[in-house]
Amino acid sequence: MNFLKLNIILCLCTIGFVKAQDLSVEQMRFLTPLWEGDRFDDGRPRVGDDILKRMKQVSIEEAWGVLRNEGYHNQFESGWEPLHDDIPMVGRALTVQYLPNRPDVAQQIIKKGKAEGAVGNTNSWPIDRLVEGDIYVADGFGKIVDGTLIGDNLGNAIYANSKNGVVFNASSRDLEGLSQIEGFNAFVRGWHPSFLTEVMLLNINFPIRIGAATVMPGDVILAKKEGVVFIPAHLAEKVVVTSEVVRLRDLFGISRLKEGIYTPGQIDNKWTDEIEKDFSDWLKDHMDELPVSKDQIKALLEKRTW
């Protein structure tokens, strides 16, 4: 498929809704060519649950460093007002784009959506698409007043479907009510008591922009106090494994420094073969005590990725 054909199809898709407004499976594969794993029926990359679970232990700096080394310089965004800034949030992105309202376009989207069975206001339509492990990621063009994409009613529906939360380049309302949903989190641009007005839904599961970041459907979201990293699906495992290796090496280095076995200069520079062997032996001896699962440590020892 050439770029002209793809652009024409993308433009045509945005005038429909629900199935017509999604990327086709072919388009999704075209835009995520480096992902070789499982996919949802719509073509969205499906990063495994094990990777999502392990991702919660990854620091923002570690994820950012891996992405930078791979040439991805536009995958981090700060400036959020989290619902819970002490609870990390990880999941697969279901992307949504909103625009300032234009009545002729909005009426067409609503008309077609209703004809195809959509229920409620358009900001609730993506919620029906969420599955467990998803995060509702929406570009609401940074609107705060009258840009509240959800309140506590929709927040409960989101958590019921995804067991997760949201990342909105927009605002939310009902902070008190949302904070009472156990397990739910929200990274938004602000909180406001107003209702959503003069905003229209344009598409679901298309590439979107969140601040300085480009976000694809199926990206892994890592949201912590420092900000949000949008990790391309094909790099998610590398981010996790790199973080685990760094974590283990740091623990080994600190342990050996405290024991006086090595000097700071030896640990802070490239390790010798002797230190590398000592590290491998240390992993085997302390496998039951370390903050990385035994299976992952065994896999690391087999691959010797350091």
Distances in whole angstroms, Cα of residue 39 to Cα of each of 29, 56, 148, 215, 217: 9, 22, 31, 17, 11
Residue 151: alpha-carbon gap to chain centroid: 21
Location of each CATH 3.50.30.40 domain in the chain: 3-233
β-pairing, 190-191 with 166-172? parallel
Q: Are 236 and 34 in contact (CB under 8 A)?
A: no
Full pLDDT tens readout for the chain, 306 residues: 454 444 444 444 443 344 436 789 999 999 999 999 999 999 999 999 999 999 999 999 999 999 999 999 999 999 999 999 999 999 999 999 999 999 999 999 999 888 988 888 999 999 999 999 999 999 999 999 999 999 999 999 999 999 999 999 999 999 999 999 999 999 999 999 999 999 999 999 999 999 999 999 999 999 999 999 999 999 999 999 999 998 999 999 999 999 999 999 999 999 999 999 999 999 999 888 888 888 888 887 887 654
Phi, psi of 301 (to 5 degrees): -65, -40
From the centroid of its chain, how far is CA 37? Answer: 17
Quote the pLDDT of residue 2: 53
The count of other CB atoms within 10 Å of the CB of residue 288 is: 7
The conformation of residue 128, written as its DSSP 8-state character, comes to G
Residue 160 has phi, psi (to 5 degrees) of: -60, -35
Q: What angle do CA 71, 76, 79 make, to 5 degrees?
A: 160
> Can you tell me the distance from the alpha carbon of 187 to that of 82, in angstroms, rounded to the nearest whole number?
4
Question: 238: closest CA among 160, 173, 165, 303?
Answer: 303
The most distant pair of C-alpha atoms in the chain lies apart, rounded to whole Å, by: 73
CATH number of 3-233: 3.50.30.40
Contact 84, 256 (CB under 8 A): no
pLDDT at 19: 40
What share of residues in the chain are helix, strand, coil (percent, to 5)?
A: 40, 20, 35
What lies within 8 Å, CB to CB, of 286 at 6+ separation is: none
* Cα–Cα distance, 243 to 54 (Å, whole number): 10
Residue 15 CA to residue 45 CA, distance in Å, equals 24
Cα distance between residue 294 and residue 111, in whole Å: 54
**201 forms bridges with which residues in the sheet?**
98
Q: What angle do CA 41, 220, 168 make, to 5 degrees?
A: 100
